[in-house]
Structure 1
């Protein structure tokens, strides 16, 4: 049953996957991921490679290469169990495929290994994953505007994402956070983002580590009256981030978004604003939320 679900989910997202693969970043990632397979199987090249096969066939995988590829597949399956978006699934496959390619090329020939590793470093430095550019109701803060906006109206609840553009986890989460903002944004419940990779002072003030080794990205913080009420992931006594899955269901449950949304609608009525200004809660309406032009403006600091 699980295999059927995965298969149908893949078919459902297939057009979207094709769209990603046509982007330069994913095209280059795909080519790097299959580089060893191409070298090992291409006639005219594979005949000059070394092999540990008993039959001496250098155009087929030897037993050690098969072991490495099987180990790679097991790691990808384990990592993808915690992936929440298709982007994360694809990203995990590309990442560990490149790691396996490095090992396989170095094992085959040190010169090939160094060449492939150099290509990966150049790719990492010059190619960045495409950023999410879909619809959203999100306010983008800078280090100068964040505190002012959070304290502007004590009745407004803010859910703020602390992110960094270089973080693959943040990039994968972008579409999830955008969808939540489309469904729940209202006069009394708003969504914001701040790039702590760019604004280091914000990172220090709110104690969200921007280190590449940090497990705190992304971090979601709920502010009420300008004060922090809760955050995910939580930080333990040793200062380490507690593992938490950033799925839409988890966020709705942990942050009580449905309850916050109902309070936000009351705030809208109290201000004399039209109730239609708030999109319907997904559980309470079968239709898709209507977007309002004024609220839909995303103020991104360049």
Structure 2
């Protein structure tokens, strides 16, 4: 049953996988993942390789290599239990396959191990995973705009993601956060992101560590009237993030997005009604009533991701 479910899932995502394979990052990762298999099975090459098989067949895996591959499969399955996107599943497979390939090549021949390790280092330094560029309704804050925008209107609730471009977890979470912004964004509930890998002072001011050991990236925080009301993941007294799964269901439940959205829609209707009333006369000075945002105002506060 599990095999059938996995096959159906693969077929469902096949068009998306095909699009990924057209990108240099995934093409290179795929060939690096199967490198040892190709070397061990390639006719004309495998005959010259060392082996520990009793029958002396150097074109087939020996018992130690099979043991390493089985251990790799177990590690990938355990890691993928917490993966929330297909991108994360494939990323885990590529990552641990490369680690296994390094061990296998060093065991086979030190020279091959050094060559493969050098290729891995060059790959990490020169080839980055594709950044999510799909549809979204997200404001991108900078170090100069974040304080002002969070405090501009106390009626607006902000959900802010603190992220860094170098973090694979942040890259995997990007489509999830974008999808939430498309479903729940309205006048009173807004979504924003800030790159604390680029703006280090924001990391200190808002108490989000960029250290890989702290595991605080990505961090989601909810702000009302400029004040932080909650954040996930929470941080323990040692400064490490408490384990939390960044999937859509958890975010909707923990941040109570459905209720927030219903309350925020009332603000949207109120703004629309006031906009109609103000079309015939100017508001009085000192009025505390919410003012409708013009297109120019929205453009000044919403900095969309550069394509």
Segments of structure 1 that go 5 or more residues without pairing to the other structure are 276-292
Q: CA deviation at 1:214?
A: 3.0
* Residue pairs, 1:167-178, within 5 angstroms: 167-178=167-178
Segments of structure 2 that go 5 or more residues without pairing to the other structure are 276-294
Cα 1:274–1:193 change in 2 (3 A) is farther
* Residue pairs, 1:205-244, within 5 angstroms: 205-244=205-244
Q: CA deviation at 1:273?
A: 5.5
Kindly indicate whether the alpha-carbon contact (under 8 Å) linking 2:46 and 2:58 is maintained by their aligned counterparts in 1: yes
Paired with 1:273 and 1:239, the residues of 2 have a C-alpha distance of 47
Residue 304 of structure 2 corresponds to: 299
Residue 43 of structure 2 corresponds to: 43
- Higher CA-based Rg: 2
Paired with 2:249 and 2:274, the residues of 1 have a C-alpha distance of 28
Kindly indicate whether the alpha-carbon contact (under 8 Å) linking 1:106 and 1:112 is maintained by their aligned counterparts in 2: yes
Kindly indicate whether the alpha-carbon contact (under 8 Å) linking 1:141 and 1:300 is maintained by their aligned counterparts in 2: no
Alignment partner of 1:95 is 2:95: yes
Paired with 1:121 and 1:183, the residues of 2 have a C-alpha distance of 40
Paired with 2:218 and 2:34, the residues of 1 have a C-alpha distance of 30
* Residue pairs, 1:45-124, within 5 angstroms: 45-124=45-124
Residue 253 of structure 2 corresponds to: 253
Cα 1:105–1:153 change in 2 (3 A) is same
Residue 281 of structure 1 corresponds to: none
Residue 137 of structure 2 corresponds to: 137
Q: CA deviation at 1:10?
A: 1.6
Cα 1:126–1:235 change in 2 (3 A) is same
Paired with 2:131 and 2:11, the residues of 1 have a C-alpha distance of 24
Paired with 2:125 and 2:22, the residues of 1 have a C-alpha distance of 20
Q: Deviations over 1:18-72 (max 9, x none)?
A: 1111100000000111110111010111111100000111111000000000000
Paired with 2:27 and 2:306, the residues of 1 have a C-alpha distance of 29
Paired with 2:196 and 2:190, the residues of 1 have a C-alpha distance of 19
TM-score norm. by structure 2 comes to 0.89
Paired with 1:127 and 1:185, the residues of 2 have a C-alpha distance of 34
TM-score norm. by structure 1 comes to 0.90
Paired with 2:305 and 2:84, the residues of 1 have a C-alpha distance of 25
Cα 1:20–1:178 change in 2 (3 A) is same
Kindly indicate whether the alpha-carbon contact (under 8 Å) linking 1:157 and 1:223 is maintained by their aligned counterparts in 2: yes
Kindly indicate whether the alpha-carbon contact (under 8 Å) linking 2:136 and 2:181 is maintained by their aligned counterparts in 1: yes
- Secondary structure (helix, strand or coil) at the match of 1:151 reads helix
